Amino acid sequence: QSALTQPPSASGSPGQSVTISCTGTSSDVGTYDYVSWYQQHPGKAPKLMIYEVNKRPSGVPDRFSGSKSGNTASLTVSGLQAEDEADYYCTSYAGSSYVFGSGTKVTVL
Amino acid sequence: QVQLVQSGSEVKDPGASVKVSCKASGYTFTSYAINWVRQAPGHGLEWVGWIATNTGNPTYAQAFTGRFVFSLDSSISTAFLQISSLKAEDTAIYYCVRDSAAWFWGQGTLVTVSS
């Protein structure tokens, strides 16, 4: 099972939006609506931001939104804030297994 | 409230074995599978595999077959990850994660393999 493809980096100024893509295959992202997104600050455990493509856990700001089209899922962070600077990982169910994305470092300029 | 509490950091010699525990509370242990996720220093997240807590049936990712073994002690709501014949490249944080629509993570256990 190959890792899902994410851009290594993304950036935006405070207040702007940034969108991170997560490209898989018809065996994972394209078939299952079990795509999640995690935020990870240095030295911290991953924090769930989006699950089941577009659902936000309690406590996650509505600036974070998820979507999916075909084999590609996306995470959009609107109204970027300094604290959004972190690594972001997607993951997808792949039929009796899971696969993670390669990770994207988001920089707030 | 749901909690997954993992055992503490370990430092092991190459060739040794290590067993990481993950104690669940706040829910019915056998209702959700447990995933294991690895993060090596400076690297991304990797899915190691999962174990069905109602049957004990394990599934391993391709890269983690052979030296990685999952087990359970349901009487104490605890899952275990044992790694044998440790190598330097096994140095990583290992997380246990409750498998549900919204994954719930343990705090992670750092395993350091160094002579």
Q: Best residue in B5, B9, B47, B65 to probe A by mutation, most A CBs within 10 Å?
A: B47
Going by the DSSP 8-state scheme, the letter that residue A59 receives in this structure is: T
Contacts of B37 in chain A (CB under 8 A): 100
Contact B44 A91 (CB under 8 A): no
Q: Best residue in B70, B103, B110 to probe A by mutation, most A CBs within 10 Å?
A: B103
Examine the pLDDT at A1 and tell me if it is beyond 80. Answer: no
Examine the pLDDT at A2 and tell me if it is beyond 90. Answer: no
Contact A34 B101 (CB under 8 A): yes
Tokens 């974070």 -> residue = A64
Contact A1 B62 (CB under 8 A): yes
With CA atoms as reference, the chain B residue closest to A45 would be B107
Size of interface A-B (CB pairs under 8 A): 48
The gap from C-alpha B99 to its chain's centroid, in whole angstroms, comes to: 13
Cα–Cα distance between B64 and B87 in angstroms, integer?
A: 13
CB atoms within 10 A of CB B103: 20
The gap from C-alpha B92 to its chain's centroid, in whole angstroms, comes to: 11
The gap from C-alpha B111 to its chain's centroid, in whole angstroms, comes to: 11
| In contact, A11 and A4? CB cutoff 8 Å | no
Cα–Cα distance between A71 and B71 in angstroms, integer?
A: 34
- Compute the average pLDDT of residues A71-94: 97
Sequence-distant (6+) residues with CB within 8 A of A37 are A20, A22, A48, A49, A50, A51, A64, A66, A73, A75, A88, A89, A90, A91
Q: Best residue in A4, A97, A104 to probe B by mutation, most B CBs within 10 Å?
A: A97
Note the pLDDT tens digit of each residue in B65-74. Answer: 999 999 999 9
Start-to-end CA distance of chain B, whole Å, equals 40
CB atoms within 10 A of CB A81: 12
| In contact, B105 and A45? CB cutoff 8 Å | yes
Note the pLDDT tens digit of each residue in A32-65. Answer: 999 999 999 999 999 999 999 999 999 999 999 9
**pLDDT range class, residue B101, cuts 50, 70, 90:** confident
Note the pLDDT tens digit of each residue in B57-67. Answer: 999 999 999 99
Contact A102 B105 (CB under 8 A): no
With CA atoms as reference, the chain B residue closest to A3 would be B46
A102 interface with B at CB cutoff 8 Å: yes
